[in-house]
């Protein structure tokens, strides 16, 4: 079946459909990971985005029941150069095509993903649509121009859990995870380090969190514009100085905003499992997994209270901050790395050390 990917600037890519049929809108972005497409598909941070994989062959090891990062896919569409015709892995339970079809996600293959990626790098991420029902380029461009973007939109409310739940029920340390679209591997990493993890909705107040008497609070990753999620920013403001805090990705941006900083939209974002970040304390370079389109403005931070701990070596943007007085820190990238390198798992150990010192 024929499918069209149309961008808001009028650029058109024609290919073949796979997965679901229909029409879906989102911001078109690219991910440079060579593997881990299942984790990318199920990462809630991709809500509202059409994801292009730069690696040319996707789907060769299928989908399994163990590598989910949430209960279902959240992205708006999936773009690949070639969908593998062969699925070969002992853990595989279904094909990529079957998985997308079952979860009503539209895919398109057979387009020049290198050209698309270069286009986005040159002009920036932009709104787009994948359609198998309307094959008129002119009609699709008109519709995508008036579709909803990401700036100023609260997508967290669409992916957060409906009510609080216990990820596990035993552990030396009690951690409350504020779910803004959390990946499962954050909870797994905490649990394996002796934490009893309670996951709460993003609109949970600081008063409610503190009433649970946690040893620490985790601010999760999530989708969209951090400045639009004002209720989380206010909650974080009230938690600073009262409990150890560790923020990841959107959690990093929320912490920065709560500390008086500002965020801005990156031209095409950081997405992939191969981004170099320098730890400014050790001077070591970590290869990291990233997925974000917004960034914390370094110049907006109060350097008397906050220190920069990590920096992106590609564009020198903020990748980590720490409060100079309180046990509060965050990173822009994903130390839980599912999928991706394990260079940054030590950050969970640093959080555990903060919990030990509190106790």
Catalytically annotated residue among 27, 69, 286, 336: 336
The rounded distance, in Å, linking the Cα atoms of 158 and 190 is 24
Catalytically annotated residue among 27, 180, 334, 354: 334
User: Strands across the sheet with 306-312, in order?
Assistant: 165-166, 195-201, 173-179, 216-219, 245-248, 328-331, 318-323, 306-312, 263-279, 285-296
Nearest to 159 by CA among 76, 245, 35: 76
Catalytic site includes residue 323: no
Catalytic site includes residue 249: yes
Catalytically annotated residue among 180, 195, 249, 354: 249
Phi-psi group of 340: left, alpha or beta (phi > 0 → left; psi -120 to 50 → alpha; rest → beta): left
- Is residue 127 within a helix (H) or strand (E), and if so which, with residue range? strand 126-131
DSSP H helical ranges for the chain: 37-41, 96-102, 113-123, 137-145, 156-159, 184-191, 206-211, 230-239, 250-258, 346-358
Under 8 Å between Cβ of 17 and 132: yes
Q: Could you tell me which residues come within 8 angstroms of residue 299 by beta carbon, excluding any fewer than 6 positions away? A: none
- Is residue 307 within a helix (H) or strand (E), and if so which, with residue range? strand 306-312
The rounded distance, in Å, linking the Cα atoms of 263 and 168 is 34
Catalytic site includes residue 336: yes
Nearest to 48 by CA among 156, 143, 140, 141: 156
Q: Could you tell me which residues come within 8 angstroms of residue 22 by beta carbon, excluding any fewer than 6 positions away? A: 104, 106, 131, 132, 133
Give catalytic residue positions.
249, 334, 336
């Amino acid at each position: 079946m024929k499918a069209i990917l149309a961008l808001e600037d009028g650029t058109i890519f024609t290919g073949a459909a796979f997965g679901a049929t229909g029409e879906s809108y989102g911001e078109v972005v690219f991910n440079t990971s060579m593997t881990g497409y299942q984790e990318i598909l199920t990462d809630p941070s991709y809500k509202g985005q059409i994801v292009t994989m730069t690696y040319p062959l996707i789907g060769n090891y299928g989908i399994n029941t163990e590598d989910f990062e949430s209960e279902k896919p959240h992205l708006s569409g999936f773009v690949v150069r070639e969908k593998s015709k062969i699925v070969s892995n002992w853990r595989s339970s279904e094909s990529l095509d079957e998985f997308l079809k079952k979860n009503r996600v539209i895919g398109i293959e057979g387009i020049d993903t290198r050209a698309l990626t270069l286009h986005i790098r040159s002009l920036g991420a932009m709104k787009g649509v994948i359609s198998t029902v309307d094959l008129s380029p002119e009609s699709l461009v008109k519709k995508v121009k008036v579709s909803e973007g990401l700036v100023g939109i609260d997508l967290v409310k669409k992916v957060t859990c409906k009510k609080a739940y216990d990820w596990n029920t035993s552990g030396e340390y009690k951690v409350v995870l504020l779910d803004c679209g959390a990946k499962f591997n954050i909870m797994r990493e905490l649990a394996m380090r002796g934490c009893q993890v309670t996951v709460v909705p993003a609109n949970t107040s600081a008063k409610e969190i503190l009433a649970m008497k946690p040893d620490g609070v985790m601010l999760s990753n999530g989708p969209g514009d951090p400045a639009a999620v004002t209720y989380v920013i206010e909650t974080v403001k009230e938690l600073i100085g009262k409990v150890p805090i560790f923020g990841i990705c959107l959690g990093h941006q929320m912490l920065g905003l709560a500390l008086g900083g500002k965020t801005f939209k990156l031209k095409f974002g950081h997405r992939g499992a191969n981004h170099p970040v320098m730890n400014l304390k050790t001077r070591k370079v970590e290869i990291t997994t990233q997925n974000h389109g917004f960034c914390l403005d370094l110049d907006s931070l109060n350097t008397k209270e906050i220190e920069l701990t990590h920096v992106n070596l590609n564009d020198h943007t903020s990748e980590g901050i720490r409060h100079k007085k309180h046990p509060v820190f965050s990173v822009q990238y994903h130390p839980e790395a599912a999928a991706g390198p394990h260079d940054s798992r030590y950050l969970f150990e640093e959080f555990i050390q903060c919990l030990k010192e509190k106790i």
